[in-house]
Every structure is written in C-alpha cells, then in structure tokens.
Amino acid sequence: MSLTRRACLSGALGAAAGLALGRPALATQSPAFAHWVTGFRARAIRRGISEATYDRVMTTLSPDTSVFAQFRAQPEFTEQVWQYINRRCSDWRVITGKECAKEYAGLLARLEKDYGVDRYILLGLWGMESSFGDVIVNPKYMRPVIPALAALAWGEPRRRSYWEAELLNALVIVDRGWGQPAEMIGSWAGAMGHTQWMPEVWLHMGVDYNRDGRVTPFGNPDDSLAGTARYLVERGKYLRGEAWGCEVKLPDGYARLADNRTMRAYGKWHELGVRRADAAAFARPGDQVKLWQPVAGGPAFLVGQNFRAVYSYNPSTSYTLALCHLGDLIRSDPPFHQQFPGGERVPTLAEVKEIQRRLNERGFPTDGIDGRTGSDTVKAILAFQRKVGMQPADGYAGLKVLARLRQGS
C-alpha cells in the first residue's frame, strides 16, 4: 500500500478539518434561516443536546444550499446491470482490496471472530463505500455535513422530518465529543467515513473498537468496520458461517424457477437440477436460499439471508450483487461464468489508464490517469461519446470506448 494512501487512512481526521476550513464560503445565514435556527433550538434541547453545543454549532452556521441541486439532480445516463457491476468491481478496487486484506488481516480476523461477518463482505463494502478510505476527505465528493444537513432540514420539505432527525443526531455526536463540526466531512446527504455512516448509524451502531475513548468513522478503519459489522448482524440479521450465495447454472427451460421469492434449501435446488456455476458442491446444503436472475439470459444466483443483510445497508439489488462479487474477487474467486447480455469483461487497470490518457490527449480532461473511473472520467467519456456519435452515450469506460479512442481523430 502506498505511503500516500496509508497517510490518508490514518490521518483522515486532521485532513478533514483542513478540508472544512479550505472549502469555498457557504451561503450567508439569511434572516429566514436564522429564524429557523432559533426555533429549532428548543427541539435540540429536548433531545438532550446542551445549550452550549447548540449555540456554538448553529448560531453562526451558514447553510450549504448547494445540496438542493444535488437532491433534485437527475442522472445524465443510466447504467445497465453489467456496467454497474463492472465499474464497482474494477481492477483498481480488486488490487487495492487485496492489499487491504493483507494489511488489515489481524483486524479482519478479530472482526470475524467477534461478529461472524465474512472479512470479504466487509472489504467489499469498504471498497464500494469509500474506495478503502481514499475518498473520505476528497473535496470533489465530500463536504462539511452539518451545514448540508441544516440546509436540508430547513429547506427541503419532501423529507424534512428525516433531515431534522439526522441533524439532531449529528449534534448529539458533537455534544458527546465524538466529533467536531470541522471534522465531520461526508456526502451531500450526510454519510461519513470509511463505510459512509449517516449520523444515526454513527450514533446507534458505532463501536469504539480500538478503545481510544470515542467512536469515529474516520482515521483508522477499526471503528468503521466494527460498527458496520454490528449493523449487518443487528439490523441485517447476518448469519455467521453462511455464504451470501453463489452463481448457478440452470437446467434448460427452468428459468421460470428464478422468481426471486421462493426459499428452498440448497439441497432442494440441487434436486431440481440447479448447480453451482463452478461445478463445486454446495458447501452447506441445508441453508435456505432463493433463485434470482437479474437480467433474462444473464447469470443466475442462489441468494440467502446474508445477501439480504447486505441489502439492508443500501436497498439496491445491483449494489448488493456488486458488493458481494467484489468481495469474492478480492478473495481471488473467478469472475461470473455467465456473461450478462450485451456485456463485456472488466477492463484492466492498464486499459482504464490508456482510456484516460487518450481522452486527455483528445481534450477531454479526466483529472488524472490513475485507472479509476471517477466522476471526471465518466464526464469525459460521455463528452467524447457525444462528440463522435457513439451510441449509447453512457459514460462507461469500457472496451468499446477504448477501441474508438485507438482509432485516432
């Protein structure tokens, strides 16, 4: 692991404070917002937040009104399932995940013993949520969360009660001394740290796993990974020893069985002719699973309770499948045996770097040549596709884009 990335992981709190101070000035506190802050004070005090904490944090706070555009923004394009999985299971993430598996082997072993959550599920989640800690203080993606939550609680009526509750949770964290406003950097919606905790998760699922006297999702990943494991067990009902599931091969004409609803034991599915895609035996034939085929003609999977546990962390089946698959790839399991219709293999790290290099040479800046498909690379690809008339213009850093770039001007 590079010195730069290790420094990021161990020193995120200090960097976060510097980032908060270095951001452009937020909107000034308008009379309407100041009036709302005064009225919200009584509710905070009823929650148990001290007057001193509320006044220190809120009376001079300026709302980050840029979050309204983020909240209402519509995506410029949609990803097919195979594209979504390929991007999240990139060569960079697998390589970095393997490095983290080695570097944090002792921590991951303790977490498996204490919580029963497979280390590769935790690594997949860590990689999905923050690229193993790399983005937690990146100003392109992260911002001070209290001004963001305050803006949403004040001015976003569609989920106001939710934003108010999360703002109060953030203030409780400050009141307890677990974090300070300048340190609490996260997404526009308030998710923070290695595994992107919302304040409610920080407050109620957090664990002081390194026993330094406070709970934090920043700095060393001990608390983040422990709190996330606790979340999967207590809220997701994760079952010790069970796999999330596996890719399977269906008998001809049996796709109708993949209703994503009917639970049967692995052994029963075997009697119906369903086999693991790698031809291995089902390790625990008594575990209950259901048959799911995300896209007709694509790979099929038997998924169990631990797939549901991961789903509870972010209720998206594509997210859950990508996370579980990323963990398997970090474990050195093979890619899916069955390709998704219209899909292509994941480009290598070298191929993504070549895409970025060629885009920059053509005048489409990617903000670096690092083999990672962040938002700048996606925007550059989208602009290139539109300019040359590629259809669909989807922003995907794949082999078709690379082939077109290699054709030259």
Task: Decide: helix, strand or coil at residue 104.
Answer: coil
- Which residues lie closer than 8 Å to 232 by C-beta, 6 or more apart? 115, 117, 121, 238, 309, 310, 312, 313
Torsion of CA 330, 331, 334, 335, to 10 degrees: -40
Separation CA 144–CA 155 (nearest Å): 17
Model pLDDT for residues 7-35, shown as the tens digit of each residue: 334 333 443 444 443 343 445 678 999 99
| Residue 6, token pair as written in the block | 């290790």
Sequence spans of domains, the chain: 245-325, 349-406
Whole-number pLDDT of residue 2: 40
Q: What parts of the chain have a pLDDT lower than 50? A: 1-26
pLDDT at 214: 93
Give the C-alpha separation, 170 to 165, whole Å.
9
Helical pair 305-313 and 119-130, crossing angle rounded to 10 deg: 30
Give the per-residue pLDDT at 102: 98
pLDDT of residue 127: 98
Task: Give tens-digit pLDDT for 178-206.
Answer: 999 999 999 999 999 999 999 999 999 99
pLDDT value for 76: 52
Rounded to the nearest integer, the mean pLDDT of the chain is 91
What is the model's pLDDT at position 178? 95
E-assigned strands of 58-184? 143-144
Backbone φ, ψ for residue 118 (5° rounding): -55, 130
pLDDT number for residue 139 = 82
pLDDT of residue 19: 41
pLDDT of residue 138: 83
Which pLDDT belongs to residue 28? 60
Q: Are 87 and 286 in contact (CB under 8 A)?
A: no
Residues in CB range of 325: below 8 A, 6 or more apart: 85, 89, 124, 336
pLDDT at 71: 78
